[in-house]
Amino acid sequence: MNSGKKITLWIGLTLVALLFVLMAVSLFYVPYGANEMNIAGRLQAPGAAHWLGTDNFGRDILSRIMEGTQTAFSVGFFSVCIGLAGGFLLGAAAGYLGRWADELLMRAVDALMAFPGILLALILVTIFKPSLGQTIIAIGILFIPSFARVIRGGFLQTKEADFVKAARGMGAGHAALIFRHIVPHILSSVIVTASLCFSAAILVEAALSYLGLGVQPPDPSWGRMLNESQAYMSKAPWYALAPGLFITLTVLGFNLLGDGIRDLRDRRA
Amino acid sequence: MRKSFKLYPSAAKLLAVLFAATAFLSACGGNNANNNGAASPSGSNSPSAPASESASASGESASPSSGAATDSAGGKDGGQVVVVIPQDIDYLDPHLAVAAGTSEVLFNIFEGLLKPNSKGELQPAIAESYEISPDGLTYTFKLRDGVKFHNGNPVTSADVKYSYDRLAGKDTGKPLLSSFASVDTIETPDDKTVVIKLKENNTSFLTALTSAVIPKDYQDSNKKPIGTGPFKFKEYAAGQKIVLEKNPDYYVKGLPHLDQVEFRIITDAEAAYLAFKSGEIDLYPRIGTEKLAELGDEFGQQSGPQNLVQELVLNNAKKPFDDIRVRQAINYAIDKDEIIQGVALGQGLKVGSHLSSVLKQYYQEGLEDLYKTDVEKAKSLLAEAGYKDGLNITISVPSVYPFHVNTAQVIAQQLEKAGIKAKIESVEWAVWLDRIYKGRDYESTIIAFDGKLNPYDILNKFLSDAPNDFFNYKNPEYDKTLKSALTEVDETKRADLYKKAQTILAQDAAAVFIQDIYASVAYKKNLAGYQLYPIYVQDLSTLYWEK
């Protein structure tokens, strides 16, 4: 049982690590320029020169996938940051203050949560002009409820724990209570949420870009590549396969990682 | 998608959600059939109804193997054809319909006094002959004998007067078609003669007379249209299909060949393509070059210039495009041939001004290479204009047209070589129409302009006072040239004026005139007689099944 759960963690970790390496490499080296067109060599099948083939403008798909990891990871990272910051403010306030503040904030969070996520993202991106920055903000806002709930739950649990009561009895201030005593205890569940939101962010970015509302051409994004590849499905199936595969692997990796960390924590507890 | 924000307990669930997400993605995606967009303001975004698979289940509609049941008479006659169209029609009433996608259907039901042929020349239709007075103000038409409406009544001059009065807005005061605004009176000295008097000379008026003639005082045009064309209306199911049947009384002997045609509405390009490949559909107009190349020899196909000019439109009133040197620099930086190869797969014809060479008589040759690609020249022009360290521009493209989005990508890459950084902003079609076309709030955009039969109706977009001059182009000399072309009665002089107008546009670098995008059509191998038109119509009267 235990070893089985550990495997989840290891697979997740390996996948995520590999993708990180790919992204790190792409910062310094890609086989061809990601936006470099070569009309004569369009829609080439995977081969020695182009490992994943070329797209309808003769751009190297591998290079675009590699640069796409930067897009995916920056969307994942920054939107989780926004979600975490917003979620912490709301969740901590609700959980720590309790009573009416809790009621008020959590109902607001419920309302946000009840709204279909992709629709909210679409509205936000439509209001602002579509671009990478707006996409990140929109997705970040989407994540606030998830974080707020987890953090509030953690606060409610630990607030009444003996060691917190003891610390309060010894005259610790609010800031000390929150950051020195409560936060370390809820950290692991926040990390799990962050990991899962990371993969969700990549998926939403792909969906938005697929709909033409996320990353704007010609900058590479997996979702947009999927969108563009669709017209060549029967002629060049590898074009759609590459971004599809990478989205799947990334989401899978982060989810397995999140599950693994949670299992680890559960066992310890 | 909602689910993906929650936390998954297991990898299995995650996979399920991933699949769901993929399904969601593919469901929302291939919405746009057309890959070369025409800028008829009301053009493409008719509310899309789900493509109906049930259409073929209803009794009388075409069976997949329509070809087999053909030809009992042994000639070309008989059989039926299913044509796929990407959007529903807006009106059945030919006088109210504005969408290009509708007029291509109604072309088979209605005719005017005149009718264009596949070369774009005007031919007498309901009229047999006509005369224009030397001052260009009086048009006298003699009606053809034996032309009957689909309800069996013969066409008289009263029907013509009723129809064109209706278009001129004689009752309401508001013309339904702007070309009829110059009509003063329409007289009917006898049953077979129509005399139209104009308030002012207008050489483009003849093309307006291709407008449909309907029976006098007929009020049900929008439910059960009655015309004089080769096919008569049979049935319309909103969002699904329009079925027409043969008009046995058609005045052109031997036409049409087919007993019945069905326009089937399939909004999703992939679905339409699959239906075509599976044989459910016989004729696929505007299939797109990419798919055409994929089809191979099992299908018949045609492609050719269609009078649809694609342009990188520059807002002449907005910085930096208010400077002619910047506009010229962009013209020099862009390689049209590469766009034609890369985006249209060679299925496009380079143009140099706002007119397609389809209109041979009026086309000014030699402008295509006025700005031969020259990156160095582009750079020095930019430096002259004060943009030595490069320039940032935004290209807004309507996201519904992948063809234009792809063009934007190629252009962005070409401009970069000249030190111009182009940001691509994709906009919704509704936003495009509202903000860019009507509001003129943009830097540059890519669109294609669907052609008309008359050069004036094409070139008038650039007149300073034109309501649709979203180029914000203003040049008094151009206005003077084009307006005098409109009133010039002499054929040669008129053509010269139109040519001069094109030259002015090109020299002013009013836009980057890229290409006439080929129309491409595919059909079953044994379907013969298809004719490409230089305007947005499908003429089904000449189609027949080969044995």
Residue boundaries of the structural domains of chain A: 3-26+71-268
State residue B60's pLDDT score.
Answer: 35
Window 246-275 of B, Cβ < 8 Å to A: 270
Q: Is A188 on the interface with B (CB under 8 A)?
A: no
For B177-182, which contacts have Cβ atoms below 8 Å and span 24 or more sequence positions?
A: B177/B95, B177/B208, B177/B211, B179/B204, B179/B205, B179/B207, B179/B208, B179/B457, B180/B208, B180/B211
State residue B16's pLDDT score.
Answer: 41
State residue A5's pLDDT score.
Answer: 66
What does the alpha-carbon distance between residue B229 and residue B333 come to, in Å, rounded to a whole number? 48
| Residue B346, pLDDT above cutoff 60 | yes
Rg from Cα positions in chain A: 22
| Residue A51, pLDDT above cutoff 80 | yes
Q: Name the CA dihedral angle for B55, B59, B62, B63, rounded to a multiple of 10 degrees.
A: 100
Higher pLDDT residue, A158 or B332? B332
What does the alpha-carbon distance between residue B434 and residue A147 come to, in Å, rounded to a whole number? 39
CB-based burial label for A140 (10 Å; 0-12, 13-18, 19+): buried
Closest CA–CA distance from residue B37 to any residue of chain A (Å): 16
Taking the CB of residue A216, how many other CB atoms lie within 10 A of it?
23
Taking CB atoms and an 8 Å cutoff, what residues of chain B touch A255? 8, 11, 14
State residue B358's pLDDT score.
Answer: 84
Tokens 């086309």 belong to residue: B363
- Domains of chain B plus CATH, in order, are 308-517 (3.10.105.10)
State residue A267's pLDDT score.
Answer: 65
Q: Is A237 on the interface with B (CB under 8 A)?
A: no
On the question of a cis peptide bond just before residue B256, with omega within 30 degrees of 0, the verdict is yes
Window 100-139 of A, Cβ < 8 Å to B: 116-118, 129-130
Average pLDDT over residues B118-139: 85
Average pLDDT over residues A9-37: 87
| Residue B42, pLDDT above cutoff 50 | no
Q: Cβ of B1 and A207 within 8 Å? A: yes
| Residue B444, pLDDT above cutoff 90 | yes
Per-residue pLDDT tens digits for B360-413: 888 888 888 889 989 999 999 999 988 888 889 999 998 778 888 889 999 999
Per-residue pLDDT tens digits for B159-210: 888 888 888 887 777 777 777 878 888 888 888 888 988 888 887 788 888 8
Taking CB atoms and an 8 Å cutoff, what residues of chain A touch B424? 216-218
Closest CA–CA distance from residue B382 to any residue of chain A (Å): 24
State residue B283's pLDDT score.
Answer: 92
State residue B56's pLDDT score.
Answer: 32
State residue A138's pLDDT score.
Answer: 87
Taking CB atoms and an 8 Å cutoff, what residues of chain B touch A143? 5
Q: Cβ of B2 and A212 within 8 Å? A: no
Window 312-371 of B, Cβ < 8 Å to A: 338, 341-342
Q: Specify the pTM.
A: 0.74
Does residue B398 sit in helix, strand or coil? strand
Q: Is A226 on the interface with B (CB under 8 A)?
A: yes
Best mutation target among B2, B3, B6, B7 (most A Cβ atoms within 10 Å) is: B7
CB-based burial label for B123 (10 Å; 0-12, 13-18, 19+): exposed
Average pLDDT over residues A42-68: 86
Helix/strand/coil (H, E, C) string of chain A? CHHHHHHHHHHHHHHHHHHHHHHHHHHHCCCCCCCCCCHHHCCCCCCCCCCCCECCCCCEHHHHHHHHHHHHHHHHHHHHHHHHHHHHHHHHHHHHHCHHHHHHHHHHHHHHHHCCHHHHHHHHHHHCCCCHHHHHHHHHHHHHHHHHHHHHHHHHHHHCCHHHHHHHHCCCCHHHHHHHHHHHHHHHHHHHHHHHHHHHHHHHHHHHHHCCCCCCCCCCCHHHHHHHHHHHCCCCHHHHHHHHHHHHHHHHHHHHHHHHHHHHHHHHC
Phi-psi region of A119 (alpha: psi -120 to 50; beta: other; left: phi over 0): alpha
What does the alpha-carbon distance between residue B304 and residue B534 come to, in Å, rounded to a whole number? 9
- Contact in structure between B233 and B92 (CB atoms under 8 Å): yes
Task: Find the CB nearest A203 among B4, B9, B294.
Answer: B4
Reported as a pLDDT band with limits 50, 70 and 90, residue B325 is very high
State residue B407's pLDDT score.
Answer: 92
The angle, 0 to 180 degrees and rounded to 10, between the axes of the packed helices A222-229 and A237-268 is: 140
Strand-pair partners of B243:
B235, B262
Window 10-39 of A, Cβ < 8 Å to B: 35-37, 39
Residues 6+ apart with CB under 8 A from A132: A71, A74, A75, A214, A215, A216, A219
Window 238-257 of A, Cβ < 8 Å to B: 244, 248, 251-252, 255-256
State residue A87's pLDDT score.
Answer: 92
Per-residue pLDDT tens digits for B144-153: 888 888 988 8
Reported as a pLDDT band with limits 50, 70 and 90, residue B315 is very high
CB-based burial label for A117 (10 Å; 0-12, 13-18, 19+): buried
| Residue B31, pLDDT above cutoff 50 | no
What does the alpha-carbon distance between residue A47 and residue B112 come to, in Å, rounded to a whole number? 59
Note the Cα B182 to chain centre separation in Å.
25
Chain A / chain B CB contacts < 8 angstroms: 106
The angle, 0 to 180 degrees and rounded to 10, between the axes of the packed helices A61-97 and A2-28 is: 120
Per-residue pLDDT tens digits for B47-90: 333 333 333 333 333 333 333 333 444 567 888 999 998 878 88
CATH class of A3-26+71-268: mainly alpha
What does the alpha-carbon distance between residue B214 and residue B338 come to, in Å, rounded to a whole number? 47
